[in-house]
Amino acid sequence: MEHIHYEDENTQYVCICGMNKPLNMVCCWAEDPNSDAFKRHLARIPDFLWLSEDGMKSQV
């Protein structure tokens, strides 16, 4: 969790790649579903996933 929090803070909760974002978010939720870290992950989802005219897109 120390490494996850370090990565989250340094990437402003966007994370390094497409696999880290959901994993880090789930780990923060498992640690404390009401934590600021989890809430910050939720706030950054639109930066990572969005709907376009041809379907859902992901920043990877």
pTM of the model: 0.83
The string of pLDDT tens digits covering residues 4-46 is 999 999 999 988 887 889 999 999 999 999 999 999 999 998 8
- 3-class DSSP assignment, residue 55: strand
User: CA 43, CA 21: separation in Å to the nearest integer?
Assistant: 12
Q: Report DSSP state, residue 59.
A: -
Structure tokens at 22: 């959901």
pLDDT at 44: 92
- Residue 48 is predicted with a pLDDT of 78
Q: Domain locations in the chain?
A: 1-58
Helix axes 36-48, 20-31, angle to 10 degrees: 160
